[in-house]
Structure 1
Amino acid sequence: MEENIQPTVQYTDDNIRHLSDMEHVRTRPGMYIGRLGDGQLPEDGIYVLLKEVIDNSIDEFKMNAGKRIEVDIDDRLRVSVRDYGRGIPQGKLVEAVSVLNTGGKYDSKAFKKSVGLNGVGVKAVNALSAHFEVKSYRDGKVRALKFERGNLTSDITEDSADENGTYIFFEPDPTLFVGYSFHDDFVETMLRNYTYLNSGLTIMYNGRRILSRNGLADLLTDTMTTDPLYPIIHVKGEDIEIAFTHTNQYGEEYHSFVNGQHTTQGGTHQSAFKEHIARTIKEFFGKNYEFTDIRNGLVAAVALNVEEPMFESQTKIKLGSLQMAPGGESINKYVGDFVKLEVDNFLHIHADVAEVMQQKITESERERKAMAGVTKLARERAKKANLHNRKLRDCRIHYSDAKNDRKEESSIFITEGDSASGSITKSRDVNTQAVFSLRGKPLNSYGLTKKVVYENEEFNLLQAALDIEDGLDTLRYNKVIVATDADVDGMHIRLLIITFFLQFFPDLIKKGHVYVLQTPLFRVRNRRTKIKDKKVVTDADARLTGKEKKSDFITRYCYSEDERQQAIRNLGPDPEITRFKGLGEISPEEFAHFIGPEMRLEQVTLHKTDQVQKLLEYYMGKNTMERQNFIIDNLVVEEDLPDEDLA
C-alpha cells in the first residue's frame, strides 16, 4: 500500500503572482545583468548598468548622429551620460525606459548593427536604480522623466534651446548593490574600448578626453606589456576590422568585439579568426607548421558588425551567432575570406614582416620539438594524477561548463601547505570552490623556458588543474585565487606564483582571472554583556548563523590597523584581540566568512606602463646585490605591538 503523504504547504490561487516589468527586474536582477556585486570586479552589475546606457549612445554614433558622449561619475556613486544623437522619440519616452520588450532597434532599417536589440537594457538600469532620470532633447523641446526604483514620479515637457540628444542620470540602488562604488580603471577601460572601435568618437569622462585615431591598432599598442616583433598589421573591411602582431610572450592573446560590445569570452567570431589566421599564414609559407606554433606569441584584436547578433546571455560577453545576418553568409566564411585575402596580400607586399614572422614561428616549433619527450611524459603523469590528484580538491561546477548558470562563480584557491588548504577545504562551497595545495615555495620560473612547466611536477599539475595548456578556451575556473599567509614567506610564494603566470600564461592575468585573497590580520571580539550599543549587536547578528548567534561574543574581523581601531571603539571596553599569523591558525568555521559572499579579493592587473619584463628581471632575476642594496636602503622596521597595546 502506498503511503498517502500530504504536502506541507498549500498551493492555491493566492500563490500565483503577476509582477510588473520593473518588479520583475528588481526581483530577478541576475536574469538581466548577471551578478550584483559592489564594483570591486569589472563584471559587477554596476558596470553592466553603465554599459547599457552608453550602448544606446554608441548606436546613435553608428547611425551618424552625434560624435561626442559625455560621461560623468560623481563621488564614484552617481552617473550621468549625455549624447548628441537624435534623442529618444518623446511620445514613447516612458515606454522606452520602463516597459520591457519595447525599443526602436527591432527595425533593422533604423539600427542595422546594434548591440542592444532585446528592448531590456535601459529598463533594467531604471529598475535597479534608486534614482533614474531621462531627458530627450528634440527639435526645441525637452521631455524629462524621473523615477524612483522604477516608479515614475515626474513627467515634464518644456521648451529647450539645447542640442538634440539624450541625457540619462542614474544612481544604483544601494539596497541591491551594497557598499558599491565605481572604480576609475574599470570605467576608463570600458570607455577606451568604445573609442578603439569607433574612430571619430570623442568621449569626455569626468572632463578628460578619450579618443582613438587608429582603432584596434591603438588597442594593441596601449595594452601590450611586451614589445611587438614587427609593426602591428591592421586592416579594415566593411563590417570587420583586425589587428595583430607577434611578441615573445608565451601563449595567445585575443581581444574580440561585436557591434562595439567587448566579448570577453569570445565566441564564433573569435574562433573563426583563430582558425583562419593560422591557416592563412601556414598556406602563405607553404610549410607544414602546427597551428599552435603559428599562434604562439600572437596578440590580436578582431571586431565584427553583425546584423541581429545572438549572444549566449543578456550580459553579451560571448557571441553565439553563426551568420552575419538572418539567412546570410556564415561568420566563419566571412571572417575566413577576409583574413585570407587581406593577410595574404599584406605578407606578399611586406616581405620584411613575413621574414620576422617566420623566424618567430620557427623558434616556437624548435622549442616545442625540443621538449616533445618531456611534454609527453608530463601529460601522461598529469592524466594519471587527474584521476586522483592529491594536490587538487575539485568542485562540481566549472567555468568551462557552457550551460551552467553558476559557472562565473567557479574558482580555485592556490594555498601553501596542508594546514591552510585543510581549513579552506573544510569551509569552501564544494559546488563552486576548488583548492590546489602547494608543497611549499614553488620554483622561481623567471628566465626559464616553458620546458619547466612540464619538468616541474607541481607546475605541471597546476597547469592540468586549470586546463590551460592550449589556451584559455578550456579554463576550468573563472577566478584563480592565490591564498597565502600575510607574512614574508607568504608574500614570496605569492610573487613566485604570479611570476609563473606572467612568464607562461600572461593572458590569464590580462583577462582578469587572477586574484589575491585578502584575509584578516586581527579578530576583535567582546562579550555581548559588555556592549551597550544595540545597533552593533544587531548588525553583527545579521551576518551570523547557527552557533554564532547563540555565542556570548560579538566578533569583528579586521583587515587593517584602522579597522582594528574601529572595532575596539565599537566593541569596547577591554575586547579580546587575536592576531592571525597564518591561514592555518584560522578555524574552518571562521574561514567560511572569508571565502563566502563577502570575500575580499584583490585583482592582479597589468598595464602597459607596468614594464613587466623589467620588473620581473629586477625582482626575480639574478641581480642579487642590486636588490639587496635596495632592500637595505629602504628597510622599515616595525616592531610587533605589545599585548597591552593590542587591548
Structure 2
Amino acid sequence: MSQVYSEESIRTLDWKEHIRKRPGMYIGKLGDGSSPDDGIYVLLKEVMDNSIDEFMMGFGNKIEIQVSDELVSIRDFGRGIPLGKVKDVVSKMNTGAKYDSKVFKKSVGLNGVGVKAVNALSSHFKVEAFREGECKEVVFSEGNIVLEKDIQTTDEPNGSLVRFKPDNTIFKNYHYISEFIENLIKNYCYLNSGLIITYNGEKFQSKHGLLDLLNDSLDTPCLYPPIHISGNDIEIAITHTNQYGEDYFSFVNGQHTTHGGTHLTAYKESIVKTLRDFFKKDFDASDIRASIVAAISIKVEEPIFESQTKTKLGSKDVGPKGPSVRNFVVNFVNKELDNYLYKHSDVAEVLLRRIQESERERKAISGIKKLAKQRAKKVSLHNKKLRDCRQHLNTNKKGSEDSSIFITEGDSASGSITKSRDVNTQAVFSLRGKPLNSFGLTKKVVYENEEFNLLQAALNIENGIEELRYNKVIIATDADVDGMHIRLLLITFFLQFFPDLIKQGHLYILQTPLFRVRNKKKTYYCYNDEERIVAIKKIGKGAEITRFKGLGEISPNEFKNFIGDEIRLDPVILKKAESIRELLSFYMGKNTPDRQQFIIENLHVENDEIL
C-alpha cells in the first residue's frame, strides 16, 4: 500500500531537531572514537576553533582543556561572548560574529553552525562567558535550554568556558583516545606560535611552527635539515627521508585539512615544477616526491570548505580581490624554494642524489612491476581473494567514507564475514596463510610476492594512498598466537612500504568476542574475562558458556552482530616519538637478547595456558 503524499507529509524541523536527525551534515560520521575523524573529536574541534579564532585576532594566548569521564571542558581567555548574546550564539542558527569579516577576517569557522551542533548533540552543554568582571551562564540538554542565570559579578578573567558531554544515544559506546586529542592540540600549536594549550595538565606549545611539526613527525632521520620558509599568509616546510611513501600536512586558517584541497594540490605541483627547473631536468614527479615529508599552511579570506567538517579546501581564490589559491601557492614556492636552494648548495646536492636514487629504484623494479601486473590481470577474473563491496573511498560519493575491507586468515573466517557483511560498504580479502616477514626487504617483494601484490592492488595504494579504495583497512585474525603473528606481519608490511596508511589513521584491528554466555532468554557476547564474569552474574544459574577459539567457529548469523553498528575496532596508532625502523628492528628483526628479555618479562601464565 503506497503512502499518501499530502500537505500533512511536509514537516518543518527546528534547528536542534534537524541537527539531531541529520548529524552527518554537521559533523561528518558519528563513530565511536576509534578514528581521529569521528564525531566526538569534531565536537571538541568545533569549540576549540572559536577559541583559536580569538587567539588569531590577538586575544588570549592560553587555552585549557580537560577530558574526564567523557565530559569535555574548554576554557579560553579571549574577549568572551557578549553577555547579552550568549544564549543566541549557541542556540540560534545564523547568529554569530563570524559574519562580520572585520571582526574575524581569516577565521576557521564562518557560518556559525559548529557550536550549535555541539549543543544539539550533547546530553549536557554549559556555556559561561566572562567579560569585564561579569559572567553569564546558560545550560542546555540536547539543544533544549535547562537553566539560564542572570548576569552576575565574577573574579574570572575574560574569556569563555564550554563544558559538554556527547549524547550517548547518538554516539554509541564512544570513548576518547588521548593520542588523537594530543595530535589535534599539537597542530593548533604548530600553527599558532605563542599559543599555550594545556590538556589534562600537560602543556603544549610551539616556537617554530611547521618546522617543529616536521621535526616531531619524523620517525627516521631526514636527509637534510628541513627547509622552512614563510611569507604573508603562507608557511611551508619540506624535507626528504629514506622511508617509502609521501607524507603531507596541510592547513587553512589553522584548520587541519586532512583531505587536502586546492592548496595542497598546488603545493605538490609547485615542488615538482621548481625542482625540475632548478636542476634543469625533467624528473618524474614520483621520483621528486618519493620519501618527502612536507607541510603547508595558508590563510584565506572566507574559505570555502567542501563540508562542515572542513577537512578539504574548495576555495579557488585566497580572497575577493586576491589571486587564485593555485597561483598564490605556486608563485611563492617557485620563488622562495628556488632562492633557498641557490643559497644552500649542500642541501641541493643531497636532494639531487635522493631524486636520482628514487629514479634508479623505480627503473630497477619497473620490469618486475610489469610482470606482476600481467600476472594480476590474468588471475583477476578468477581471483577469490577479494570479495569487493560497491562503495569505495576514492569515488568521493555519498557513503564512501563508510567503506572498509577485512583482511582475514583462511577461507573459514572469510566465509563467515562474507556471508554476514554489508555488501555495499564491506569488502573481504582472504590471506592464504601467514604472509612473508617483509622487514629489511626492498619494495621488489611487493611485486614478487603474489599475495602482497594482490593486496596492494585491492587497496589501490601502489602510487600512494590518495586513491585508497577503503577508509578502514581492518585486520581480522583469530585472537590466538598464530593470529597475533599474522597481525604483526601485516603491520610490518604496511609500516615498511605504506606507512602513510597507518599515519593517516586507516589501519585497525577487529575485536571479536572470546565468549558467548546465554540461556534461553538472553545472550551476551564477551570480549574479555571481565565481561564474561559480569554476563554470568546477570544470567545466573544455568548459564551456557561457549569459548570461541577462532573466527571460523562463529556462525554468519552471529558474526553480523560484530561487524555492524556494534563493531569494536582498535586503531593502529604510531606515536610521534616512535621510530618505524627501530620498532620493526626490535619486533621483527633477528632475535636479539633485548627482545628475549622483553618476552620473558611480559609473559603471562593463567590457568596453565600461555596467553
**TM-score, normalised on structure 2?**
0.96
- Say if 1:69 and 1:83, in contact at 8 Å, map to a contact too: yes
1:141 pairs with one of 134, 140, 143: 134
The reply on whether 1:454 has 2:447 as its aligned counterpart is yes
Match of 1:46 among 29, 32, 40: 40
Bigger mean CA deviation after superposition, 7-16 or 355-364: 7-16
- Larger deviation: 518-527 or 320-329? 320-329
Residue 584 (structure 1) aligned with residue 555 (structure 2): no
From 246, 259, 262, give the equivalent of 1:252. 246
2:175 corresponding residue in structure 1: 181
Aligned ranges 1:44-123 → 2 under 5 Å: 44-73=38-67, 75-123=68-116
Alignment of 1:112-511 (within 5 A): 112-152=105-145, 153-326=147-320, 328-402=322-396, 404-511=397-504
Deviation at 1:387, TM superposition (A): 4.8
Aligned CA distance change for structure 1 residues 470 and 628 (closer, same or farther; 3 Å): same
> Is the Cα contact below 8 Å between 1:526 and 1:572 reproduced in 2?
no
Q: 1:133, 1:170 within 8 Å by CA — same for their partners in 2?
A: yes
CA contact (8 A) 1:225 1:607 kept: no
Of stretches 421-430 and 275-284 in structure 1, the one that deviates more from structure 2 is 275-284
Amino acid at match of 1:571: I
Give secondary structure in 1 for the equivalent of 2:395.
coil
Rounded to whole Å, the distance in 1 between the matches of 2:429 and 2:556 is 16
2:562 equivalent to 1:569: no
Judge conservation of contact 2:108–2:253 (CA < 8 Å) in 1.
yes
Q: Which residue of 2 aligns with 1:558?
A: 526
Deviation at 1:289, TM superposition (A): 1.5
In the aligned structure 2, how far is the partner of 1:216 from the partner of 1:466?
Answer: 31
Distance 1:110 1:625, change over 3 A: closer
2:487 is paired with a residue whose SS is helix
- The 2-side partners of 1:367 and 1:17 are apart by 62
**What SS is found at the alignment partner of 1:527?**
coil
Conservation of the 8 A alpha-carbon contact between 1:445 and 1:452: yes
In 1: Cα distance, 2:602 partner to 2:65 partner: 41
- Alignment identity in percent? 62
Partner Cα distance (1:600, 1:211) in 2: 34
Asked if the contact 1:76/1:182 (under 8 Å) is kept, the reply is no
| Deviation by residue 1:299-330 (Cα, 9 ceiling, x = unmatched) | 11111111111111111111111211235311
Residue type of the alignment partner of 2:167: D
Change beyond 3 A, Cα 1:608–1:570: same
Matching of residue 522 in structure 1 with residue 515 in structure 2: yes
Farther-moved stretch of structure 1 (48-57 vs 568-577): 568-577
* Whole-Å separation in 2 of the counterparts to 1:336 and 1:640: 65
What TM-score results when the alignment is normalised by the length of structure 1? 0.91
Deviations 1:498-521 (A, max 9, x none): 100000000100000000111111
Structure-2 separation of matches of 1:303 and 1:381: 43
Distance in 1 between residues matched to 2:478 and 2:405, nearest whole Å:
17
Which consecutive residues of structure 1, in runs of 5 or more, have no partner in the other structure?
1-6, 529-553, 642-647
Q: Using the alignment, how far apart are the partners of 2:121 and 2:561 within structure 1? A: 27
Task: Report how far residue 186 of structure 1 moved.
Answer: 1.6
Kindly state the Cα deviation for residue 159 of structure 1 after the two structures are TM-superposed: 2.7
User: How many residues end up aligned between the 2 structures?
Assistant: 608
Of residues 25-34 and 329-338 in structure 1, the stretch that sits farther from structure 2 once superposed is 25-34
Contact 1:76 1:181 in 2 (8 A): no
**1:373 counterpart SS class:** helix
SS in 2 for 1:421: helix
Q: Per-residue deviation at 1:639? A: 4.5
Deviations 1:225-245 (A, max 9, x none): 111111111111111111121
Q: Distance in 1 between matches of 2:14 and 2:494?
A: 48
Whole-Å separation in 1 of the counterparts to 2:561 and 2:442: 40
**Structure 1 residue 185, shift from structure 2 partner:** 1.7
Partner of 1:545: none
Aligned amino acid, residue 149 of structure 1 = E
Structure 2 unaligned spans of 5+: none
> Alpha-carbon deviation of 1:361?
1.2
Query: Residue in 2 aligned with 1:533?
Result: none
Paired residue for 1:594? Answer: 562
Q: Aligned in 2, Cα 1:324/1:384: closer, same or farther, shift over 3 Å? A: farther
1:123-156 CA-to-partner distances (Å, cap 9, x unmatched) read 1111111222222222333222222221223142
* Aligned equivalents of 1:38, 1:290: Cα separation in 2: 42
Q: Contact 1:394 / 1:434 at 8 angstroms: preserved in 2?
A: yes
User: Aligned with 1:17: secondary structure?
Assistant: coil
Give the superposition deviation at 1:624: 6.5
Report the alpha carbon displacement of residue 38 of structure 1 after superposing the two structures with TM: 3.0
The answer (yes or no) to whether the contact 1:36–1:44 under 8 Å persists in 2 is yes
2:9 maps to which residue?
15
**8 Å Cα contact 1:128/1:149 also seen in 2:** yes
Once the two structures are TM-superposed, the CA of residue 479 in structure 1 deviates from its matched residue by 0.3
Q: Which amino acid aligns with 2:60?
A: G
2:83·2:151 contact (CA, 8 Å) conserved in 1? Answer: no
Instruction: Give deviations 1:145-179, integer Å, cap 9, x for gaps.
Output: 22222122314212334322222222222222233
Helix, strand or coil: the match of 2:88? helix
The Cα offsets for residues 312-362 of structure 1, whole Å up to 9 and x where unpaired, read as 111111111121123531111111111111111111111111111111111
Tell whether the 8 Å contact from 1:76 to 1:183 is kept in structure 2 after alignment.
no
Q: Rg larger in 1 or in 2?
A: 1
Deviation (angstroms), 1:632:
5.8
Q: Secondary structure at the match of 2:531?
A: helix
Equivalent residue of 1:473, what SS?
A: helix
| C-alpha separation in 2, matches of 1:160 and 1:483 | 55
Distance 2:357 2:591 in 1: 27
User: In structure 1, what residue type is equivalent to 2:383?
Assistant: N
Work out whether 1:608 is the aligned partner of 2:602. Answer: no
Matched residues in 2 for 1:40 and 1:623: separation?
Answer: 33
